[in-house]
Structure 1
Amino acid sequence: MEKSFLPLVTIVTETYKNFDYLEENIKSVLSQTYAPIEYIIADDGSGNFPLDKVKKIIKDNKKDNVIDVKFLISKENRGTVTNEGNAYCIAKGAILMPLAGDDEFYDNNVVSNVVHTFMKTGCEALSVSRVAVNEKKEIAYNLPHKIDYRRIKSIDTAEKKYYSLVTGKFYNMVSGSTLYIKKDLFHRLGGYDQRFVLWEDSPFLLKMFSSGVDVETAYNINGIYYRLGGISTGNINPKYLEDKKTYNTILMKEHYNSLPEYVKKYIDHNSKSAKCENTRERVFLYLSDCKIMLSKAIYAFNEKVGELIDKLL
């Protein structure tokens, strides 16, 4: 790639209270070989963000390819949607790349490989692989699972991805943690849906897919070491549960009429499930929607098999 024609990339590290892996995170950004990079660190109202320590890490490791570093320190906790969205709004880069504070780039060439794929394909959005690891950085499995690559390859249009997302059979093909997008696309679609607090990616993907914007996938690129134990894998935050309820009731209603009948059945089921107030209601719902429950059970089983096979390979 001719360096004089390379686009500015903005990398955003988002933090909230947990700084155990922040040094590794920052160093993985500063060790990237790509130029030029703008780096934004956005803290979501932690109250104890170690600014002086972070500045020293940056001073000791920053090279000339990182042309600017910005800090966006919020006084109050507003959630991932606002925190990351605010960082994207001040970003100057043509390509936006998030990096959660407890994750780190897989190697020094991730940004270079991502930009090369953007330029080669002409895509507006790109998703790459995640390598899931435990707190000791021991590899657990890949996301998406390797056994799902062929299935995902057949879900090759924005419309097909749209239906897969709505039905919940998404096979980890796109994750917000490794969803890299053109800044123009982010603004054109109106940014993140502010009705949500912590769940930024699926509502935004619904915007994309329903607008006909596809996501290019490049699973030959390992994007990040993805630490298990976050919102998606660890203890569930009540605000995240509220986001899921909003997603399954309010947001799905807005898309309902444009979807085929088989997809509507999943929306109806998820909407009813979100409104169940006790175990009795939930059991009755599951028995009445046994075909959908069987389909979900098969999908969940496939996910577990995928994890097991990844560990054995």
Structure 2
Amino acid sequence: MISVIILCYNNFKYYKECIDSILCQTYSDIEIVISDDGSLDFPRDEIYNYIYSNMSNNIKKITININEYNLGIVKNYNKTIKLSEGDYIFYLAIDDVLYDKNVIKDVVNYFRETGELIFTGYKDVYNSDLNEYIKTLPRDNEVEILKKKDVKILYESLCKGSFISGSNTPFSKKLIDKYGYLDESYCYLEDYPRYLSLTKRGCNIGFYDRKLIKYRSGGVTTSGKISDVLRRDIRRATIEECSEYFQQKWNHQWIIDKKLIGWGTGDCYINSTDYIKNNIVYLVDSNKSIQNTKIEGKLVLSPDVLVKEDINNIFILIFSYANYFDIARCLERSGFKEYEHFFICTPNILEVVKK
């Protein structure tokens, strides 16, 4: 049996689309476990009746849990895993849908064929109405990392940026038996700290070359708005899981000995330390609308200027989690090497390497 877990909180607009994508699955042994995290008006009976009225014999069990008060995503997720009875877990947000009717069958077969404890796949990102395709994730360069099947490389890559999403990363219950439940010191981030912890401890995360879900943009971590709670979770993940890596790789001589250039003008740069910003000679950014302007007194130029620099005399700090791998690939094509000529720089990393 596979358990499809659905977590929800004050968001039921698209539940029928989500449920329909489960009910139509060709796999014959599915459990649906829904856990509401203390919503004011959770329509339990409505949802149950909708499932019961439309399901076929492929749905073997339905469990609907209602928390008396809001626990947060991570605690709610752990509670739902404990309620589930399947051998495998597929987490699906209540506003997303499975990609097609064979997803669950193919996922179970992949577990059985490979023996993986956990793997990820592709998700297609859509607009809020699921009628306008935006992009496919993970990106090609991130898939290359996953396909290497090297847990050390995967861990170090995850330290530099999160590219594995919980919504399209099913796992076996054996993973829980071996590595335990999610760390409940986090509130919103159910995926990134978990995958850092797993890979740090030697558990690889496989890759299934298949689209698993259609993802409706605008969730807690993709809406473009980062709450204080989510920001604290991200900071904690960097400090708890990545400190040793960054302390080993960060070299303060970059700043002392080299001409320092920053790539990126967003929050990672704005919120970096004065020491870093004072040593930056200029910034580069691919956004043409801000090129040849100044950010906090620093001139912003096109990245094209970097090829005119003496490669052995400069160091580039990349102020971005989300685009680090794309920027790194761009630099590598021009002969730059990670650690030798460029590296990631964020406020959380700077906090770690100061200690």
Calculate the TM-score normalised by the size of structure 2. 0.71
- CA apart distance, 1:188: 2.1
* Equivalent of 1:143 in 111, 114, 137: 137
How has the CA–CA distance of structure 1 residues 292 and 196 changed in structure 2, closer, same or farther, with 3 Å as cutoff? farther
How has the CA–CA distance of structure 1 residues 259 and 122 changed in structure 2, closer, same or farther, with 3 Å as cutoff? farther
Return the index of the structure with the highest Cα Rg: 2
What is the CA–CA distance in structure 2 between the aligned matches of 1:287 and 1:33, rounded to whole Å?
60
User: Residues 108-131 of structure 1: CA distance to partner in whole angstroms, max 9, x if unpaired?
Assistant: 110011111111111111111100
What aligned pairs does 1:44-193 form with structure 2 within 5 A after superposition?
44-137=37-130, 138-145=132-139, 147-148=140-141, 151-152=144-145, 155-168=148-161, 172=163, 174-193=164-183
Counterpart check, 1:200 vs 2:224: no
What is the CA–CA distance in structure 2 between the aligned matches of 1:31 and 1:246, rounded to whole Å?
40
Q: How many residues align?
A: 279
What is the CA–CA distance in structure 2 between the aligned matches of 1:85 and 1:58, rounded to whole Å?
23
* Equivalent of 2:234 in 244, 252, 267: 244
What is the CA–CA distance in structure 2 between the aligned matches of 1:243 and 1:301, rounded to whole Å?
22
How has the CA–CA distance of structure 1 residues 158 and 298 changed in structure 2, closer, same or farther, with 3 Å as cutoff? closer
SS at match of 2:170: strand
4+ residue runs of structure 1 moved beyond 6 angstroms?
A: none
Calculate the TM-score normalised by the size of structure 1. 0.80
Specify the alignment match of 2:248 in structure 1.
261
What is the CA–CA distance in structure 1 between the aligned matches of 2:144 and 2:320, rounded to whole Å?
16
Bigger Cα displacement from structure 2, 95-104 vs 287-296: 287-296
User: Residues 148-187 of structure 1: CA distance to partner in whole angstroms, max 9, x if unpaired?
Assistant: 266335642111111101122x5x2x21111111112123
* Equivalent of 2:211 in 214, 222, 242: 222
- CA apart distance, 1:136: 2.0
Let me know the Cα RMSD of the aligned residues: 2.9
Specify the alignment match of 1:294 in structure 2.
318
Amino acid in the other structure paired with 2:110: T
Amino acid in the other structure paired with 1:185: L
Gaps of 5+ in 2: 253-266, 282-314, 331-355
SS at match of 1:92: coil
User: Residues 5-56 of structure 1: CA distance to partner in whole angstroms, max 9, x if unpaired?
Assistant: xxx1011011010111111111111111102111100111112111121012
Bigger Cα displacement from structure 2, 107-116 vs 154-163: 154-163
Of Structure 1 and Structure 2, which has the larger fraction of its residues in helix?
Answer: 1
What is the CA–CA distance in structure 1 between the aligned matches of 2:159 and 2:142, rounded to whole Å?
20
* Equivalent of 1:30 in 23, 28, 32: 23
How has the CA–CA distance of structure 1 residues 281 and 212 changed in structure 2, closer, same or farther, with 3 Å as cutoff? closer
What is the CA–CA distance in structure 2 between the aligned matches of 1:281 and 1:105, rounded to whole Å?
40
What is the CA–CA distance in structure 1 between the aligned matches of 2:319 and 2:81, rounded to whole Å?
37
